[in-house]
Structure formats: structure tokens, C-alpha cells
Amino acid sequence: MAPDHESGGRTPPVRTAPGRVRPARPGDSLPLHRLQRHLPDPSPSLLELGLTASGSAGGTVLVSTATAADGTESVVGYVLFVDGPTARHVAELVVGPAFRREGRGRELLSAVRVGTDAPVTLLVAVENEAARSLYESCGFRAVERLPDEYGDRDAVRYRAAVDRSAEADDPQ
């Protein structure tokens, strides 16, 4: 069962197969900001910019959803990415603790890789082994260590080439 802060106090979402990634909507702001609290270095202003200017210079926010038995949809994860001149950069990725290890992070990363001819980059704290393992299993490769990127903590820059197989699976 999802904690109250994840489900908004509604019927707990049912565990179903992943496959529910969609663009964020204005009504998603509160659950997204609640999810953002799970990040060690959140940027609320960047998320808000992504929500108000999605698809433009502010970035794009995609969400992972779960559906309750009564049909109520809850946002249980998100990715915020920005298209730059040479790469698409993942600025934030988070899945609520009750929904981790269900393939949702992998699904969000796959969605980021659709529709771009540019490589995808992201930064992660060196000590975040779970995230690093996920990224590597999704085809990302460590390309650079960045000393003190997070104040007193080092980061690793990851990069993934264009994933044409994800585009082939996209029915649009």
C-alpha cells in the first residue's frame, strides 16, 4: 500500500504491469512536489518551470502512474528532462519508495530516449549505487567523474546513445 503522501489519501493504487507513462498535467503539481522530496538535491523551481513550460526551454516532465481499484490515477514517479544543443539531459528522476523495483524508472528513462537524435545524459552521486545500477542496465555508460559536484559529494556523468529500438516500439 502506498503511504498517504504518495496516494493523496485516496484508495491505494493497485500493482499492475508498468506501462503508464504520460506527459505531466497541471493537476500533477502537488504529487510531483511531494515525490521530489525523495531526492537528495531537489530543485523545486526547476520542476515548476518544467510543469509550466513543458516541452520548451523549461524542460519536459513525464510521469509514471498507478491506478486504484476504483479507477483513480495516482502519480508515483516522474522524470524531468531538458533538450540542449548537443544532448537531452535528465535533470531529475524519482519513483516513490512504495513503487520502486517495478520497472518504472526504466520505463521513464526509455520514454526520455524516444523522439531525439541526441544522446541522453544525466548526473548521479557516486555513492548512489542503486541509481547507477539502473542507469547502466538501461544502456548508460559512465563518462566522467565530477569532483564536488554536489557540494562535498562527487558525481558521475552518464551518457546513453540514441535508442532506436524504443522508437520502433512507439505506435505513434
Q: What is the pLDDT of residues 45-94, one digit of tens each?
A: 888 888 876 555 557 899 999 888 888 889 999 999 988 889 999 999 99
Residue 100's domain comprises 4-169
pLDDT at position 9 = 45
pLDDT at position 55 = 53
Over 80: is that where the pLDDT of 137 sits?
yes
pLDDT at position 54 = 57
Over 60: is that where the pLDDT of 95 sits?
yes
Return the CATH number at 81.
3.40.630.30
For the whole prediction, is pTM greater than 0.95?
no
pLDDT at position 17 = 43
Mean pLDDT of 24-29: 88
Over 50: is that where the pLDDT of 5 sits?
no
Question: How many domains in the chain?
Answer: 1
SS3 string, the chain, reads CCCHHHHCCCCCEECCCCCCEEECCHHHHHHHHHHHCCCCCCCHHHHHHHHHCCCECCEEEEEEEEEECCCCEEEEEEEEEEECCCCEEEEEEEECHHHCCCCHHHHHHHHHHCCCCCCEEEEEECCCHHHHHHHHHCCCEEEEEEEEEECCEEEEEEEECCCHHHHHHCCC
